[in-house]
Structure 1
Amino acid sequence: VNFLSYRDGELFNTLDVRRDIVRAIRQFKPEMIVTNDPTTYFRANAYINHTDHRTAGAATLDAVFPAAGNRMYFPELLSEGLEPHAPKQVWLTMSNEPNTWVHVNDTIEIKIAALLKHASQVKDPAGLEKRIRERLRRDDWPDEFYAEGFRVIKL
């Protein structure tokens, strides 16, 4: 995880933000990027997606293509030794249009524990855990089978 230290509620899809994301992509050279689906404003009629989440997703997509793999974008990064790199896939979380499901039974407890660490943002820990389990369960699957949906874009 690479934190860019932007303040909560103050993230905007600016040239500086995209440059920071392109810098990270060129530095780490990932084959796959995982980010938020910027098109998700509402989730299951029960959740309004935070503006920072949508903005992070949009800025990341703008950084992935066309900027990260194109030397015409942010040429100053070349002087830092950061050559263009084009990831092969983008996996969007919190999507209303998932096309790929990943079995998460082995990691659901870790996910819940990590989300509960955001104590300043969690007013009802039991309620959050219940919502996570409900979101990761589908009606057509056995009760104790959890899967996380992603919208996968192959580039």
Structure 2
Amino acid sequence: MAERQKVLLLGVYGMEVVECGGALAKNVKNGGESYASIMLSSNKSREQVLQAANVLGVKMGFTDFEMGHVDTSAESKEKIVRVVREIKPDIIITQDPEHSFHDLDPDRRQAMITILEGIALAGRDFALDKMPELKPHSIPTIYYMTPHQPNTVVDVSDVWDLKNEAMSVLKSQMEFSGQHFENSLSESNLESLVPGFSKLSNHYEKGQAVHKALDQAVHVYHGLATHGHYAFAEAFRREGNFHLDELLK
């Protein structure tokens, strides 16, 4: 049986809760505790992120940064440090630093630096006067989600339906994606990807349909392609080396 552990996702916008939701949900299924803390979430999307987290069994929190104003100040780092010290996770999941620089969502780059600095400072004698009730907590293991160069895949086949259900709850994201895909792909490409796409009645349905096709392709690729062993898998890049008592098959 898998070891019970605390896993914390430090995310930026909220969709990350679902993107690595398989690993988070599987940890809960195995008796662990999964948490997520999001920096930026609008009033419109926050309730949907909470609903998605509830589907996955993830305990949610928000650090209430302001879009366009994320910085690497001591005050910003303190917000991350507080979350880490309060939850005391065994594992942290966050965005891959390399990926964050290619992602043109606002604040991704500053957020990534703030998150990594916060993780580093959480285990040191930083801001103890600001949070005297919390002791330093060091993180032994960090995994970067959706990396360009993964070195780890997690079998999420048994929680695949939960992950799809959680994604469908993110209505604002699905509507945005439906409009984006409709503008960026030709009609013939969309029909090839989602047969009957043109007959879908609104952007929510269109975004949901394309995400379902896209997510399935990505997760099958990581799970089954290149001699994989799983129907669906999430990809991660572990920070640093794996430290093993002996080689694992």
TM-score (norm 1): 0.80
The amino acid that maps onto 2:233 is A
> How far did residue 87 of structure 1 move?
1.0
| 3-state SS of paired residue (1:51) | coil
List alignment gaps of at least 5 residues for structure 2: 1-35, 37-60, 179-206, 242-249
The amino acid that maps onto 2:113 is A
C-alpha distance in 1, partners of 2:229/2:240? 31
C-alpha distance in 2, partners of 1:130/1:10? 34
| 3-state SS of paired residue (2:97) | coil
The amino acid that maps onto 1:134 is A
| 3-state SS of paired residue (2:235) | strand
The amino acid that maps onto 2:105 is H
The amino acid that maps onto 1:76 is D
Match of 2:151 in 1: 99
C-alpha distance in 2, partners of 1:85/1:53? 25
Per residue, is there more helix in 1 or in 2?
2
Match of 1:45 in 2: none
| 3-state SS of paired residue (1:106) | helix
C-alpha distance in 1, partners of 2:142/2:239? 5
Q: What is the correspondence of 1:1-155 to structure 2 with a 5 Å cutoff?
A: 1=36, 2-8=61-67, 10-40=69-99, 41-42=101-102, 48=103, 50-65=105-120, 67-71=121-125, 73-79=126-132, 81-122=133-174, 123=178, 124-138=207-221, 139-141=225-227, 145-154=231-240
Q: Which moved more, 1:18-27 or 1:106-115?
A: 106-115
Taking structure 1 as reference, are residues 121 and 14 closer, same or farther at Cα in structure 2, changes over 3 Å only?
A: farther
Q: Deviations over 1:6-48 (max 9, x none)?
A: 2455534433221111011111111111111121044xxxxx4
> How far did residue 58 of structure 1 move?
3.0
Q: What is the number of residues matched between the two proteins?
A: 147
| 3-state SS of paired residue (2:65) | coil
List alignment gaps of at least 5 residues for structure 1: 43-47
Identity among equivalent pairs (%): 24
Taking structure 1 as reference, are residues 22 and 116 closer, same or farther at Cα in structure 2, changes over 3 Å only?
A: same
The amino acid that maps onto 2:239 is I
The question of whether the paired residues in 1 share the 8 Å contact of 2:96 and 2:147 is answered with: yes
The question of whether the paired residues in 2 share the 8 Å contact of 1:33 and 1:90 is answered with: yes
Taking structure 1 as reference, are residues 152 and 86 closer, same or farther at Cα in structure 2, changes over 3 Å only?
A: same
The question of whether the paired residues in 2 share the 8 Å contact of 1:23 and 1:77 is answered with: no
Select the structure of larger CA radius of gyration: 2
The amino acid that maps onto 2:232 is Y
Taking structure 1 as reference, are residues 118 and 75 closer, same or farther at Cα in structure 2, changes over 3 Å only?
A: same
